[in-house]
A and B are shown apart, each in its own frame.
Chain A
Amino acid sequence: MKFGVVVFPGSNCDMDCFHVVKNVLRQPVKYIWHKETTLDGVDCVIIPGGFSYGDYLRCGAIARFSPLMNAVVDFAKAGGLVIGICNGFQILLESGLLPGAMLRNTNLHFICKYVYVKTENSKTAFTNLCKKNQVLKIPIAHNEGNYFIDQEGLRMLERNRQIVFRYCNQTGLVDKKFNPNGALANIAGITNRGGNVLGMMPHPERSSEGQLGSADGFLLFHSIKKWLENK
């Protein structure tokens, strides 16, 4: 299984993702600079967190026009696995691979802390090793994670089971009280209709080894590997 980590100017979680795939998942992985035009045979694309293009204009708005994004869009449309984390999620929204948009956190703060998310769909390429409704402890670190979509869009997401993660408490209760950023319907992560593109605000690469406080995020990387092996 070959993984590719996309690097934009301003990406800052690229090395963490690379480390987890190489040293924890123990799979081949390479960096792909955003000026490249091909993905060169990778099985899964990771768009990491950070501040691509300084978050100028809107988060992810400029990165989506990088040359490599054309290849990422083609790869995703052909069913390839793409996971966008934090700024990567924002880029996937701006590129139209995922529906909706991000607003500033309702409290206007950059929020950096561990949160709990409930796995609402454990049958995806990214969550197949999670138990049904499993609660994961994964950190967030963002200023624009306040997910928005119109009511019709929300109905579509719910009908098609595209909502993969919702913010919750330690026991899995989804409530406004446990919503850190104001995201609509406590949404922390969604897939596209085909289920092969995931965007999520929490950082699984920062919680893939026990000594960091949680290894729950590793379930995602491990799920991807298993999914690709069984394909």
Chain B
Amino acid sequence: MLQAKIDITLRKTVADPQGLTIKHALESLGYQNLADVRMGKLVTIKLDTGDKQAAEADIKEMCQKLLANPIIEDYSFTISEE
């Protein structure tokens, strides 16, 4: 069994109103040294296989087809043994 953890974030060139609002909230709590806050999504997928190479290819395809929208989002992932 393998587990993939996929991080999806808005691209750097895209304004992130949620991240900005969180930054303001943190600043109001007294944290004044924040350069930037970005909000993203985490998707975890368990794969019923031991073939890491094939899993990587599959996850990449899933990201491109459905999980991320390349116009506004970047993705990165790690795959580890469960």
Give the distance in Å from the alpha carbon of A195 to the alpha carbon of B10 in the complex.
30
Contact with A along B8-21 (1 / 0, CB 8 A): 00100111011001
Interchain CB contact under 8 A, A57 and B18: no
Closest to A62 in B: B66
Interface size on A, residues (CB 8 A): 19
Cβ of B54 under 8 Å from chain A: no
Give the chain B neighbours of A104 by CB distance below 8 A: 17-18
Interchain CB contact under 8 A, A148 and B14: yes
Closest to B68 in A: A58
Majority SS of interface residues in chain A?
loop
Contact stretch, chosen from A13-21, A24-32, A67-75, A105-113: A105-113
Interchain CB contact under 8 A, A103 and B72: yes
Interchain CB contact under 8 A, B66 and A148: no
Give the chain A neighbours of B14 by CB distance below 8 A: 103, 148
Please give the distance in Å from A197's CB to the nearest CB on chain B: 17
Q: Which of A45-73 contact B (CB under 8 A)?
A: 57-58, 61-62, 65
Interchain CB contact under 8 A, B69 and A94: yes
Cβ of A149 under 8 Å from chain B: yes
Contact with A along B45-73 (1 / 0, CB 8 A): 00000000000000000000011010110
Closest to A146 in B: B17
Most chain-A CB neighbours within 10 Å: which of B14, B21, B71? B71
Closest to A102 in B: B72
Give the chain B neighbours of A172 by CB distance below 8 A: none
Interchain CB contact under 8 A, A106 and B15: yes
Give the chain B neighbours of A94 by CB distance below 8 A: 69
Cβ of A201 under 8 Å from chain B: no
Give the chain A neighbours of B69 by CB distance below 8 A: 58, 61, 94, 101
Q: Which residues of B contact A (CB under 8 A)?
A: 10, 13-15, 17-18, 21, 66-67, 69, 71-72
